[in-house]
Amino acid sequence: MGWKTLDDMDFAGKRALVRVDINVPVENGVVTDTSRIERIIPTVDDIHAQGGKVILLAHFDRPKGKVVPEMSLEHIAGTVADVLGLTVTFVSSNYAEAVDEMEDEEVLLLENLRFHPGEESNDAAFAARLASLGDIYVNDAFSAAHRAHASTEAIAHLLPSCAGRLLEEELGALDAALGNPARPVVAVVGGAKVSTKLDLLGNLVGKVDHLVIGGGMANTFLAAQGFNVGKSLCEHDLADTARAILAKAQATGCEIILPRDIVVAREFKAGAASETCAPDACPDDAMILDAGPATVAYIAEVLEKAKTLVWNGPLGAFEITPFDAATNAAARHAAGLTQAGKLISVAGGGDTVSALNQAGVADDFTYISGAGGAFLEWMEGKTLPGVAALG
Ligand code: 3PG
Ligand code: MG
């Protein structure tokens, strides 16, 4: 890893521009999950402990280069202050003046960077404007590192730069899972569509020993093998692609694990009447909503022998009962093995964290990434521009 950490810098008397990801969920004006804010505390505290000042650079939602008042970071500044336990001053203009006037342990939060078109276009002039506000650049936004934006990429070339604690932690955990993992490695990939995860599957079959495919995606694979999937969510046009992935897996010696039994229902709703059947026996008028107990038992068996697990996406329609059963059972099994010291388990990406929270095991995995898209791109084996720029 070619980048520096907070330990390599001297923050005394310096202003640190700290890129964070506080793109948190907000409902009716209330932040419903403060995890992303909590996770920047170590970096803010370390910089303060070294005598540096902290200016937070962040985005919120996707205003696309325009001022969208509902997307102002002003709305969450209070929550940031509460979570950090510090005075947080929100600034929407006259940044240089605000920086000159800031107190030592006061934190400045600049307005949503995406209100400026230069942010997403990775504009050199916008990056230079930001850079002029500080002495050191710290990137602590792993979950935005897949974006080559002015505050994640261009700015890193303009100032002495380093990774914050969270970025360092995320990369360390991810490297342990796919970079240089203890084998055998199992990947669990679920979710609705194969089309959104083609690169991911393609990369994983070359890297892991066992690849469990679940959720709606599995239906595409079952159909590609000639099974009737009834009214299930299925991308029939991707049959050739699915077969190519199966062939690649065979060539690389990666075992693909598809549902060995399926849970089907006639209605997509909580509590819908369901039955378990063989993967080739989905009735014409039914849809596959979960993997069955035989599949879960086999996944458990594979996990017993594994040393590393990387998980992205649920195995079934986990948001409605009883179709959360396979996801819950497999997640609990992985959590138990992790707690027993037998498995390194890393999970991340979109729905995954809510699925693990729902299974009640998020705290029992070795590491849960706070990233959505960045976690996926990392699993796809792609270079993350925000990380590369620190190199
Ligand atoms: C996220 O929420 O995953 C990050 O903040 C990145 O947001 P984006 O997908 O809008 O770039
Ligand atoms: Mg130091």
CB 249 within 8 A of CB 255: yes
For position 1, what pLDDT does the model report? Answer: 60
d(CA 317, CA 355): 10
What residues of the chain score a pLDDT lower than 70? 1
Regarding the beta carbon of 373 and ligand 1, being less than 6 Å apart is answered yes
d(CA 218, CA 242): 10
For position 196, what pLDDT does the model report? Answer: 87
DSSP letters for 291-321: E-HHHHHHHHHHHHH-SEEEEES-SS-TTST
Regarding the beta carbon of 166 and ligand 1, being less than 6 Å apart is answered no
Q: What ligand 1 atom has the least distance to the C-alpha of 23?
A: 5
Q: How many CB atoms lie within 10 A of CB 309?
A: 29
pTM of the predicted structure, to 2 decimals: 0.91
For position 199, what pLDDT does the model report? Answer: 87
Regarding the beta carbon of 144 and ligand 1, being less than 6 Å apart is answered yes
Query: Helix or strand or coil: residue 386?
Result: helix
Q: What ligand 1 atom has the least distance to the C-alpha of 371?
A: 3
d(CA 381, CA 187): 14
CB within 8 Å of 113: residues ≥ 6 apart: 57, 58, 59, 119, 130, 149, 150, 151
Query: Helix or strand or coil: residue 89?
Result: strand
For position 351, what pLDDT does the model report? Answer: 81
Helices 41-49 and 165-174 pack at an angle, to 10 degrees, of 130
CA atoms within 13 A on the CB side of 239: 10
State the alpha helices, DSSP H only, in the chain: 35-38, 41-49, 74-84, 95-101, 117-120, 124-131, 165-174, 198-205, 215-224, 239-252, 293-305, 325-339, 351-358, 373-379, 385-388
d(CA 258, CA 219): 9
Distance (angstroms) between ligand 1 centre and the Cα of 294 equals 37
Peptide bond preceding 184: is omega within 30 degrees of 0, i.e. cis?
yes
Identity of the residue numbered 388: A
Please classify residue 86 by burial: count the beta carbons closer than 10 Å to its beta carbon, then call 0-12 exposed, 13-18 middle and 19+ buried: middle
Regarding the beta carbon of 372 and ligand 1, being less than 6 Å apart is answered yes
